A and B are shown apart, each in its own frame.
Chain A
Amino acid sequence: MNAVIDNILFDSMKEIKLEGEFKGSIITKCNDDYNSIIFSDNIIISNSEGISIKEGLKVGFEFIGNNISAFSRKKDFNWVDNLNEIEYSVLIPNNIMEVYDEGQFGDAFPYTLNLLHTAGLFLSDYEHGINHLDFFKGEILKNPVSLIMNGIIVADRVVIDHRGDPVFYDCLIVGRDQKDDLSISYEPLTNVKKSLGNVEYIIILGIEELKQ
């Protein structure tokens, strides 16, 4: 299931900017060191007042002292002159969200681990890399968010298989194709080979941060 064009609200690479107030399921990718992602149910885009998001959830990595750590934080965002801090903003179509919703509340995976607080499961970084995949081998983790080869995967759950590779279930995927055009799709299952080195990071969202 795919969707394009009408749902791209902002794309700095293709110079797309749709003015207006949008509500729904919106993913915004930032142009910062660790390519943070903002999830929100609203966004206002205007030529005069820039782009603003009310009560979005920003997910990414940050340094605390010398250590790097995953975070998810509820915040209001506003960009006026610094629009280059956003790479793109997309609105996920309702029909895709309906399919995504149907994939949840399944009774096939009752023993899914919910983390209380947001944590990094994997980060591909030469100096500060994180890899807890082996620790969670064979487990099912709820609410993973991942950046893979410049594409975002938001899934209902991730299973770490016997090789230590993540398998995402009930996934929304936002990424660029060969022509660098943005596309939005849904996949019931996505296999990822971490050995290929294309996984940038995997973050597991904590239930406490989501309840904020």
Chain B
Amino acid sequence: MLLHENKKARLLTFLKLGINPFKNFVSTGEIKEELGLVISRKNILDEIVKIIENDKNLVLPIIGDVGIGKTHLFWALKNNLYYHNAFYISLETVIKKFFYNIYSEFIEAIGVEPLRNIVNQICSQWGALERKFGFFHVVDINKIRKNAFNKLSDQYSEDEKRTLLDIINGITTHQLDPYKKVEAEGWLLGELMNVKELSSLNIVHDLRNSKTAYSMLKLLIENSKLGSILFIDDFEKMINMNKPSIEFEEEPEEVFDRSWLYGKKVSPDKVIKSKKIFEKLKKLYQINGLRIIITMNSLDSLEDIKRNLRDTALEVNIKEPIILPKFNKSDILELYKKNMKAFLENINFSDYLKEFSDDLFPLNEEILQKIHQDSKGNPRECLKLLINLFNVMVYSDDNLNDILEHYLNSN
């Protein structure tokens, strides 16, 4: 019969199995973040939600140092604005096939069933659900395609007419031709298709084609009942392409101008890419109902962005930037508590929560203050330090007090 259980000792023994309560220190757009924001950032979230709800089209810059929690903010926003289609891209990974990648992310965010509903709604706007004699839907696919073309053709230039035909054929086939519905759905989902598959749908390009992907994205977002939020992470990457890289800056002074031999320090290819991204951002801005959130590391970059987005034909609604502050001491305590609570619940040690509710076992306030000081309030650095400290606890033979004391005395 168990008379007394030393829960603290048992938890430490459990950790010795090699399980670290702190794992991720880099948030990504692919892996969902379960932990919400710390209380001090709730008002920032509320402010963003307010801005998004008040404006249908905007570009909202979010500024914060590397590791300050910009990507984590995306997950908090997505959970908070569950009645919006929020989707994420990082310019670090997505440069080529820009619109195709955005389209894929959008489809993944909304899911297949809502996609079918949107397409069904679009098709009914084109007259597909017209009832003959008050009851009967007589599918005249050619008539519906003609209707659709007449409705949309003024929004497309002459050289984009083929794109429009592809879109109309894809949507009408999906909705009205039961024999080709499966193939058409594959096309709508952005599957890569060969010429034979495309020609059976009477379509020239799949969605790898930039114009087709953009036009489909526009059509779906504008006909979605929910608002859409595109979160573009690492936007600064694009601006930095315009500037000479650090390696070039630190090069020793040369007697002769190397650019005579090797060209200018900035690759023209990068400049073109950067300009193209701004052009694409402007195109995205023209999608009615799409709110764009961009993240960057410093305020200096914002001026560059404003300059690049300035256009005589298009007035881009760039909102005042929201600056993510560093963590204060209580934020670190809250982060630690939330993480430990989630960890204990995960490993089925929920009853230990009561035991540890008053203290911060296995750490203490003094240690967490030291972590705050060492990390300079940067959440990512703070998590790195916590991971390191717990790794020492897991793998070292020293007792807990020695480990903590050693950390306190370290520089």
Contacts and interface: CB of A to CB of B under 8 A. Distances in A.
B134 A24 contact: yes
Q: Which one of B133, B178, B182 has the greatest number of beta carbons of chain A within 10 Å? A: B133
Contacts of B133: 39-41, 55-57, 74, 210
B248 interface: no
A104 interface: yes
Given A101-B129, A110-B181, A205 B176 contact: no
Contact of A39 (B120, B135, B140, B176): B135
Interface in B151-181: 175-176, 178-179, 181
B132 interface: yes
A25 B130 CA distance: 12
A204 to B, nearest CB: 12
A205 B135 CA distance: 12
Nearest to B136: A210
Contact of A41 (B134, B176, B178): B134
A144 B182 CA distance: 27
Interface residues of A, number: 27
A57 B138 CA distance: 14
A154 interface: yes
Contacts of A101: 129, 137
Interface in A81-113: 92, 97, 101, 104-105, 107, 109-110, 112
A26 B181 contact: no
Contacts of A26: 134
A211 interface: yes
- The 6 lowest CB-CB distance pairs between A and B, nearest first, are A110-B178, A41-B134, A25-B134, A57-B133, A39-B133, A210-B138
28 contacts: A24-B134, A25-B135, A26-B134, A39-B133, A39-B134, A39-B136, A40-B134, A41-B131, A41-B133, A42-B134, A55-B133, A57-B133, A92-B134, A97-B131, A101-B129, A104-B137, A107-B178, A107-B181, A107-B182, A109-B178, A110-B181, A112-B178, A143-B136, A154-B135, A207-B138, A210-B133, A210-B136, A211-B140
Interface of A: 24-26, 39-42, 55-57, 74, 92, 97, 101, 104-105, 107, 109-110, 112, 143, 154, 172, 205, 207, 210-211
Given A56-B133, A207-B138, 20 more contacts: A26-B134, A41-B131, A41-B133, A42-B134, A74-B133, A92-B134, A97-B131, A104-B137, A105-B176, A107-B182, A109-B178, A110-B181, A112-B178, A143-B136, A154-B135, A210-B132, A210-B133, A210-B136, A210-B138, A211-B140
Interface of B: 120, 129, 131-138, 140, 175-176, 178-179, 181-182
